[in-house]
Amino acid sequence: MVSLQVTFQPSAKRLLVEPGHTVLEAAHAAGIQLRAECGGKGLCGKCKVQVSGYEGYTEEEMEFFSQNELRRGFRLACQAIVDKNLTVYIPEESLARKQRILVEGVTRKILLAPNVKKIFLKLPEPSLEDNRTDVERLRDSMEYDMRSVSLEALNQIPVAMRDSKFEVTLVLLGDELVGCERGDTSDRCFGVAFDVGTTTVVGYLMDLNSGEQCAVKARMNPQISYGDDVISRINFAQNPENLDRLRRSLRDCLMGIITELADAAGTRKGEVYELVVAGNACMQHLLLGISPRSLAVSPYIPVVKEPLSVPSTLYGKRMYVLPMIAGFVGADTVADIIAHPLDDRLRLLIDIGTNCEVVLGTEDRVLACSTAAGPAFEGTHIRYGMRAAPGAIERVEINDHVTVHTIDDEPPQGIAGSGLISVTAELLRNGLINAAGKLQTSERFASRMKNDSFVINGAIAVTQKDLREIQLAKGAIFAAQRILLKTYGVTVKDVEEIALAGAFGNYIPKEAAKDIGLIFDIPTEKIKGIGNAAGVGAKLCLLSVKERKKARVISESVNYVELSSRKDFQQEFVDAMYFPHSNLELFPLVRERLARTNPSFRSVSNLIPTSE
């Protein structure tokens, strides 16, 4: 097959591509990261490029372009097929920008008890009278149990012992000897904890002697090129070649992060002895090269949910993968609970990502469920949506004027998830949308009401379709909370705290989230952002085997509620589609607040139009 040349401008990068690949795939192969929030399905319209001499548009593309853009040869990179030599110009706004990734979370003190031990020994040299084997000599000189020895350690032992005059440092993982080093290196002992998310990957380099964090690095999950959500990636991984492609891309990402961590802290990669991974079920299956196809079909069963300690193919001797709760409540949720332990108070823990996991309970009884929610709040299916990168609108104020606040105070480029919640709440407060989510006419803001949308800034607007997507996402999240409360046999009055985990949960404007009905209408002081709790939980399990035991207990004791099997979920979902909800008795404080500025909230009969 004859390869075709694709030239990218203004970078002037060139590469040969086999016919049939998309321009988006070619760009990724050239190391050019384009925005593709929908994973290359032609749904988000963010990967606009100008392709000279290209003809023919798909129907899916037409809605994303003005007539001027069509005349100038703009295409969606994910839809344009390489069928001849092409020159592709990439506008600045189509390039992926570095996303704001939350790396820290609320942590707690623990007793330091890592799985890794380094022991310095001064051994008696062998003689004709003392002819014990090298392993026997080591075992007899140790105060710890050494039940097994790895082949790698066996290869190191004779050389290290004799080169250092029988002064060596042993590396133990649990009760297995995995390394033998020359001299005293006991003060150099590190591990890396990973929070592997669908969108982002965060790594923490920890000193296992002191428990201190030495460095933290984060990257976008490169699997985004193959799908923005777990279902897309499960579908992509249906054949062995694609499964291996996903595994290798994530493996390379983790290796790159370890290299960056070691460079930042001035350590050597060989001083990293163990990795601990917390991720959702799909990410952990893909990292291990296990087909995730069973996760996509009822009854959504993972291949394995127990913790796994496997030989590491990355740096480090072994990789410990935390246990899961169910097919769509993964090890990241277990890590959330490790980081923010349940006690005698009834609490809701909500981790909003590409999927939303909800946990309700006390230390005596815990329920958990999962619901699809993330795409809208991460920019997919939103006309001007984008991830939380510089220039993303994260807060909106509508008074006499519209004021926007962007990440890093850069010029507005699009709307982040927190900005979507903020602007929706402001539209509701000002009577610019009704409880059913329909845009309303307004003399005061007539100049901003264009083409079934509300203009926020310049060309950036919220469309009626966007509002429907927000309703779908927030409706699913709130319905999940309602189902758990009903299953538990309590009401919202019994809930003493709502803990919001994850990057999105940390940046959510809390009052606005209540106004649109994303979370329950409880006093704001009872709503707490706990940051990247999954990352914190992974760190704690790296630093203490006792925390790993707790993680296993959590995995086995949490009661999973499958929402798809609940006959009442669909009705709860429909009721939660309204802003804030069809039952305003659930939102007394919100109704009182909205009634001050939105006339429709002054009469119950006006709230839910029967024609909607």
Query: What integer pLDDT is reported at residue 105 of this predicted model?
Result: 64
Give the per-residue pLDDT at 214. Answer: 95
Question: Looking at residue 195, what is its pLDDT?
Answer: 95
500 versus 84: the higher-pLDDT residue is 500
Helix (H) or strand (E) holding 116, with range, is strand 116-122
Mean pLDDT, to the nearest integer, of 485-512?
91
How confident is the model over 264-290, as a mean pLDDT?
A: 95
Q: How far is CA 36 from the centre of its chain?
A: 16
Bridging pattern class, strands 347-352 and 497-501:
parallel
- Give the pLDDT of residue 569: 94
Tell me what pLDDT residue 49 has.
87
Q: What per-residue confidence (pLDDT) applies to 605?
A: 45
What's the pLDDT at 609?
Answer: 44
Contact (Cβ atoms closer than 8 angstroms) between residue 212 and residue 262: no
Number of other residues whose CB lies within 10 A of the CB of residue 62: 9
Predicted pLDDT of residue 103: 55
Q: Region 80-84: what's the mean pLDDT?
A: 84
pLDDT for residue 182 is more than 90: yes
Q: Give CA separation, 387 vs 18, 148, 413, in Å.
A: 31, 48, 10
Given this model, what pLDDT does residue 1 score?
63
CB 608 within 8 A of CB 507: no
Burial class, 95, CB count within 10 angstroms (exposed 0-12 / middle 13-18 / buried 19+): middle
Confidence at residue 56, expressed as pLDDT on a 0 to 100 scale: 66
Please give the average per-residue pLDDT across 83-110, as a whole number.
72
> Could you give the domains of the chain?
4-94 (3.10.20.30), 116-182 (3.10.20.880), 196-332 (3.30.420.480), 346-369+476-590 (3.30.420)
pLDDT reading at 52 higher than 70: yes
- Helices marked H in 238-313 — which ranges? 240-265, 281-288
Q: How far is CA 418 from CA 146, 377, 505, 577, in A?
A: 52, 8, 9, 18
Predicted local confidence at residue 12, as pLDDT: 66
Locus of tokens 């008890």 = 113
Mean pLDDT along residues 271-277: 96
Strands 318-321 and 460-463: unpaired
DSSP assignment, residue 544? B
Each residue's pLDDT tens digit, 29-49: 777 777 776 667 777 777 888
Q: How many CB atoms lie within 10 A of CB 123?
A: 16
Assess whether pLDDT exceeds 50 at residue 475: yes
Per-residue pLDDT at 508 exceeds 80: yes
Q: In whole angstroms, what is the distance from residue 555 CA to residue 287 CA?
A: 20
Token couple for 380: 């997919």
Mean pLDDT, residues 492-497 taken together: 95
**pLDDT exceeds 90 at position 156:** yes
Q: What is the pLDDT of residues 299-317, one digit of tens each?
A: 889 999 999 999 988 887 8
Please give the residue that has the higher pLDDT: either 103 or 326: 326
pLDDT at site 608: 52
Q: Is the pLDDT reported for residue 520 higher than 90? A: yes
Whether the predicted pLDDT of 294 surpasses 90: yes
pLDDT for 18 beyond 50 = yes
106: pLDDT strictly greater than 70? no
User: Distance between CA 45 and CA 26 in Å, rounded?
Assistant: 18
Cis ω for the linkage preceding 588 (within 30 of 0) = no
* Res 54: pLDDT: 66
For residues 580 and 481, the answer to whether their CB atoms sit within 8 Å is: no
Q: Do 54 and 22 touch, CB atoms closer than 8 A?
A: no
Cα–Cα dist 418/98, whole Å: 17
pLDDT tens-digit readout, 591-610: 888 888 887 776 654 455 44
Q: Which residue has the higher pLDDT, 50 or 602?
A: 50
Mean pLDDT of 471-497: 95
Global pTM value: 0.82
Flag whether pLDDT at 497 surpasses 50. yes
Q: What is the CA radius of gyration of the chain?
A: 27
Q: Check pLDDT > 90 for residue 404.
A: yes
Q: Give pLDDT tens digits for 111-138.
A: 899 999 999 999 999 999 999 999 999 9
Average pLDDT over the chain reads 88
CA 251 → CA 78, 245, 286, 287, 363, distances in Å? 25, 10, 9, 7, 36
Q: pLDDT value at position 612?
A: 39
> pLDDT above 70 covers what percent of the chain?
93
